[in-house]
Structure 1
């Protein structure tokens, strides 16, 4: 099953055909698709109308530099700002993160989406793609925030997606543009990077997004292509029963296995349920690659929301104004080293 990207602020005839393809599970929008709050609501409605079955509509709306929806939406603080608050008052910081999650998810639903790919539960250890998108460098602190954030998204009626499994924060490389290798043994990863994922899964996270990072002491291929990581560790050891997303197949670190068809097959064969194809120029080849392959549409039904939450209803909810006011307390993290990161590029999945 594929989540596809589209080119602009309106659907083209060819894109309507893509959305009707049996292998298309939904669409993801980026800043290139957003001109205004009203326009994006019209576009999400048009995408739903173009398909003969329910589709999953997705966006990256984390806070900080990764916010595809800006005009008419709250400017959400980056997650790393919560770390300083946690050191002063852990319970207050966790409660505020829950409000961040509720506010983000509520506004994304009001725009007509089902899912924002959040939260990031990687460790803040200097990765160029992650930067201040991560809560903290401390695994136990990130684990506490992961549980709080999942709860806040659920309160807003949105499924939560933990990313990027099994942990993207402890290597320097940005997988949008280069391969990344983490040579630590599995025991070290269990003590550190896997801790927040275990906490998020225990809190009821509905989905996990894989990292395009290779951990050669665990498996020879990047994690999203690895039956060891997906089947044995994520589903077996951690007991995860939700939806597994690959990361974007257009990223540089996804390319070693071959062309578009080879990447999709490798992800699905390894155990991924859904493969994002964010660059529209790759979509025709991706759909062709899945001709005749059985599609597991049931895997995504639990992620599709309860229908759009209208802006009028959201703005009438006192919690909306209260959450916006409360988030002013979150400090702005220091300069982000990942200025040129693909996460800041509206054409890439973050």
Structure 2
């Protein structure tokens, strides 16, 4: 079987790190000198060690990538299919998502406002889902995600701290930039870090934020104040600062909605919008926040349900191979590519959207309309090789590698007992900085 691209990238990173030390040999030592040989041996061992433990651009180490590859190598089609699905469920009973995760081997679930009652019930839910993954024989965390952007999109309203809409992050950056300082981005970074720690205190491992879309204003019916700004530079600065904050909290962040939903004049919850922006304008405007987010260490990127004419016309970006290729090759993103919810109107009625998304390059399928049926469909596609073995192992392996990263980060970065109070303070500081 051909080595998957994601593993080849990790091996290239190891080689690069090793070669970077090739010129460090003591110039005063002869190659035949025992002293020189001993030193070279020590340096080589140190280089090998640092290469294995140095993080890749999206978080995991090459060692974690290789470990993930070994974990998924002998999995059944049912297990592989489950590990690329983040399920949807309709209940407030913690056992409902837990049972679904156990039976379908799901990567995890997305928790929405219809699934929550209070903080105690949320913790019971996240604990039950985590236990279900462990009972399924997986010793890495579940993907337990939530849309908690702040403002109008906050599914834990009344349970987690109330953050202002992400527009405040852009306003804080703008205000500070006008005064020639960097305090605005610090405040944005701290807000994301505090929010991430509070979410972890509730049992979450992922947050479907920040929004990197550059809004066009009143003609944008979907994003609006969820966007940090209508100015690409401001949006790029704010989004990257938030990513750094989430990374510092040990939670997986998900800049969205690639390649940028803020310029669409229709709502992808209802229909498939067409984005007719030219490629050069996309680069200068919509893509800039994603470029800075990737440089800031974004572990995952969420793709949008947009017909992007400049990249792969006629297809939603979530199902478009050329869009994934662009994300990987031109944007140089190596992490987890996750779809927007597959239950949205833009794709829900298309034939086999989950299978087509994985074939195109998606690593995670978010909230399909029918989780169990999607699992059956993806499993059948794996069995028939309609989804190629190297593609599904690449996808599942990336997800596992990222969860190994999240596990390590959560062990290294403890959640303070006053996480909720710190989050409230950070939310207030962000709101004040935007005025």
User: Shorter-normalised TM-score: what interval?
Assistant: 0.7 to 0.9
Identify the residue that residue 227 of structure 1 maps to in structure 2.
Answer: 321
- The CA deviation at 1:327 is 2.9
**The one of 142, 162, 167 aligned to 2:235:** 142
Does residue 426 of structure 2 align to residue 323 of structure 1? yes
The worse-fitting range, judged by mean Cα deviation, of 15-24 and 101-110 is 15-24
Q: Which residue of 2 aligns with 1:273?
A: 363
How far 1:318 sits from its partner (Å)? 8.1
Q: Is the 8 A contact 1:115 1:303 kept in 2?
A: no
Q: In structure 2, what is the Cα distance between the partners aligned to 1:308 and 1:329?
A: 33
Distance 1:318 1:290 in 2: 43
Query: Which position in structure 1 is the counterpart of 2:175?
Result: 88
Q: Is the 8 A contact 1:158 1:303 kept in 2?
A: no
Contact persistence 1:110–1:309 (CA under 8 A): no
Residue 197 of structure 1 aligns with which residue?
Answer: 290
Question: Is the CA contact 2:171–2:229 (under 8 Å) kept in the aligned structure 1?
Answer: no
Task: Quote the offset at 1:277 in angstroms.
Answer: 2.2
Cα distance in 2 between the residues matched to 1:23 and 1:189:
38
Distance 1:316 1:239, change over 3 A: closer
Alignment partners' CA distance in 1, 2:160 and 2:223: 23
Give the distance between the partners of 1:246 and 1:152, measured in 2 at CA: 23
TM-superposed deviation, 1:83: 3.2
Shift of 1:150: 1.0
The change in CA–CA distance for 1:206 and 1:323 in structure 2 (over 3 A counts) is same
CA distance in 1, matches of 2:112, 2:374: 19
Aligned-partner Cα distance in 2 for 1:27–1:330: 34
Is the 8 Å Cα contact of residues 123 and 135 (structure 1) preserved in structure 2?
A: yes
CA RMSD of aligned residues (A): 2.4
Alpha-carbon distance between aligned partners in 1 of 2:246 and 2:263, rounded to the nearest angstrom: 26
SS state at 1:162 partner: coil
**Equivalent position of 1:342 in the other structure:** none
Q: CA deviation at 1:79?
A: 0.9
Which residue in 2 is equivalent to 1:56? 143
Contact 2:200 2:415 (C-alpha < 8 Å) held by counterparts: no
Note closer, same or farther for the CA distance 1:270–1:327 as it changes in structure 2 (3 Å cut): same
* 1:155 Cα deviation after fit: 1.2
Contact 1:106–1:314 (Cα < 8 Å) also in 2? no
1:20 is the counterpart of 2:92: no
Indicate conservation of the 8 Å contact 1:315/1:321, yes or no: no
Using a 3 Å threshold, how does the CA distance of structure 1 residues 270 and 66 change in structure 2: closer, same or farther? Answer: same
Question: Structure 1 residues 215 and 302, CA, compared in 2 at 3 Å: closer, same or farther?
Answer: same
Aligned pairs for 1:164-313 within 5 A = 164-220=257-313, 221-231=315-325, 233-255=326-348, 257-258=350-351, 262-279=352-369, 282-292=370-380, 293=382, 295-296=392-393, 297-304=396-403, 305-306=406-407, 307=410, 313=416
Q: Deviations over 1:19-47 (max 9, x none)?
A: 12455211110001111011100111111
**Aligned match of 1:70:** 157
Instruction: From the superposition, tell whether residues 12 and 159 of structure 1 become closer, same or farther in structure 2 (CA, over 3 Å).
Output: closer
Q: 1:291: how far off?
A: 2.0
Question: Which structure has the bigger radius of gyration?
Answer: 2
Q: Structure 2 vs 1, CA of residues 47 and 303 (structure 1 numbering), >3 Å: closer, same or farther?
A: same
Give 2:207's aligned residue: 116
1:8 equivalent in alignment to 2:91: yes
1:78, CA displacement in angstroms? 0.5
Change beyond 3 A, Cα 1:137–1:316: closer
Structure 2: runs of 5 or more not aligned? 1-83, 383-388
Residue 324 of structure 1 deviates from its aligned partner by 4.2
Counterpart for residue 129 of structure 2: 47
1:49 Cα deviation from its structure 2 partner:
1.6
Unaligned segments of structure 1, at least 5 residues: 333-350
- With over 3 angstroms needed to count, the CA separation of the structure-2 counterparts of 1:143 and 1:95, relative to structure 1, is same
SS in 2 for 1:200: helix
CA drift of 1:216 comes to 2.1
Conserved in 2, the CA contact under 8 Å of 1:77 and 1:330?
no
Q: What secondary structure is seen at the aligned counterpart in 1 of 2:270?
A: coil
